[in-house]
Chain A
Amino acid sequence: MLDNQLREWRPYVSPLDPCPPILIKTYVVPPNQYIHYQPMNLPQFTLDEAIRKGTLWPALYSPYMSRRKAKGG
């Protein structure tokens, strides 16, 4: 689900950069950007799932993965 919400871009890398360059930067485009007005009768999460995720509708759900590398990374 996250795959199609992440956009990548490549910043300019200078030979004089002081730190190791990050070659690919990403940003999130959440699904709300493509919904003008929510249509009726969208499929729903189960109530248990919805209350944990923060939305009733899979079409509006946006997961987020920490950019922090796993320990030792």
Chain B
Amino acid sequence: MWVYEKKLQYPVKVGKCDPRMARYLIEQYGGADGELSAALRYLNQRYTIPGKVIGLLNDIGTEEFAHLEMIATMVYKLTKDATPEMMEAAGLAPHYVNHDNALYYENAGGVPWTATYIAAKGDPIADLYEDIAAEEKARATYQWLIDMTDDVDIQDSLKFLRQREIIHSLRFREAVEILKADREQKKMY
């Protein structure tokens, strides 16, 4: 179970009315390398990973949901007061006709989220390398999102999220080291 804290992991402030940016940010909401994919990937893999690293996947998977909330907050703030005309001008007319101003798990191209974005191979090394790659891809996505806006408030939150991807990547690589560590041990039979 989870204990919910009714606040964001990092403050989200949006400095200007720019529904266009919501359309790009949705990539990290329902995209292949987005926060939903990350959370579900780790929280699912944790069941079949060696005990020494279950806790890591549990903690990082949980943090990904906190990131998902931050992205959702940005998208919501950017679109909640957008008129149909503003949505259309931002390229969000296809979204509007299907969802009004509701959020939806889709990528920046409007493709709905799919479970094929996440893998669970059951092999601990394979799964952890997938996780490392996912973190670096998410880091890159945050870089390109930062490039797409001149709103320093959004950039600030995105830079925090980008930094967390870097830390998570390192932690997953440490997990690989933990699982590799037995090699030096002498086994007596």
**Chain A residues close to B by CB (< 8 Å):** 28, 30-32, 35-38, 51-55, 60-64, 66-68, 71
From residue B28, how far is it (CB to closest CB) to chain A in Å? 15
Pull 7 A–B residue pairs with CB atoms less than 8 Å apart, ordered by A.
A30-B166, A36-B177, A51-B10, A53-B160, A61-B163, A66-B150, A71-B150
**Chain B residues close to A by CB (< 8 Å):** 10, 139, 142-143, 146-150, 155, 159-164, 166-167, 169-170, 173-174, 177
Interchain CB contact (< 8 A) of A62 among B10, B148, B166, B173: B166
User: Known contacts being A54-B163, A66-B155, is A28 close to B143, with CB within 8 Å?
Assistant: yes
* Alpha-carbon distance between A61 and B163 when the two chains are bound, in angstroms: 7
User: Known contacts being A37-B174, A66-B147, is A32 close to B164, with CB within 8 Å?
Assistant: no
Q: In the bound complex, do residue B150 and residue A60 qualify as a contact, i.e. CB atoms below 8 Å apart?
A: no
From residue A36, how far is it (CB to closest CB) to chain B in Å? 6
From residue B47, how far is it (CB to closest CB) to chain A in Å? 25
What are the residues of chain A within 8 A of B162 when measuring CB–CB? 54, 62, 64
Q: In the bound complex, do residue B147 and residue A60 qualify as a contact, i.e. CB atoms below 8 Å apart?
A: no
From residue A33, how far is it (CB to closest CB) to chain B in Å? 9
From residue A48, how far is it (CB to closest CB) to chain B in Å? 13
* Alpha-carbon distance between A51 and B149 when the two chains are bound, in angstroms: 23
What are the residues of chain B within 8 A of A60 when measuring CB–CB? 166-167, 170
* Alpha-carbon distance between A30 and B142 when the two chains are bound, in angstroms: 13
* Alpha-carbon distance between A36 and B169 when the two chains are bound, in angstroms: 11
User: Which residue of chain B lies nearest to A67 when distances are taken between CB atoms in the complex?
Assistant: B147
What are the residues of chain B within 8 A of A61 when measuring CB–CB? 163
What are the residues of chain A within 8 A of B164 when measuring CB–CB? 54-55
Q: In the bound complex, do residue A64 and residue B150 qualify as a contact, i.e. CB atoms below 8 Å apart?
A: no
User: Which residue of chain A lies nearest to B160 when distances are taken between CB atoms in the complex?
Assistant: A54
* Alpha-carbon distance between A70 and B54 when the two chains are bound, in angstroms: 45
Q: In the bound complex, do residue B177 and residue A37 qualify as a contact, i.e. CB atoms below 8 Å apart?
A: yes
* Alpha-carbon distance between A49 and B44 when the two chains are bound, in angstroms: 33
